[in-house]
Amino acid sequence: MRYRERAFGERLWRAAVIAFGMLGAFAAIDAILFFFFLVGAAIVFEPPSPYIGLLMFVALPAAAVVGAAVAWTAYQALTRRTLRSQADKHHVAA
């Protein structure tokens, strides 16, 4: 029989938070990379439409901030939960 330190519900919660945090991190990274791609495209080529500035200076920074906030919140939730669960079991935090 396999030894399970955490219950299934806690492992499922951790997996969901990790997946949600990774989606937020990927959204932040993609928004930053797409911003620099559009800046480079505007320098090399003519901007495709007048709305590109709205996308570049409003939507992409907002997506980067929201994605980073989601990733940071997931990180904080996982680290605080881990430290609390270890303290409850009288483990020494390494």
- The range of the structural domain enclosing residue 77 comes to 27-86
35 is a domain residue: yes
Which tens digit of pLDDT belongs to each residue from 18-77? 999 999 999 999 999 999 999 898 889 887 788 888 999 999 999 999 999 999 999 999
33 is a domain residue: yes
44 is a domain residue: yes
81 is a domain residue: yes
- pTM flag (> 0.85): no
The number of domains in the chain is: 1
User: Rounded distance, CA 22 to CA 16, Å?
Assistant: 10
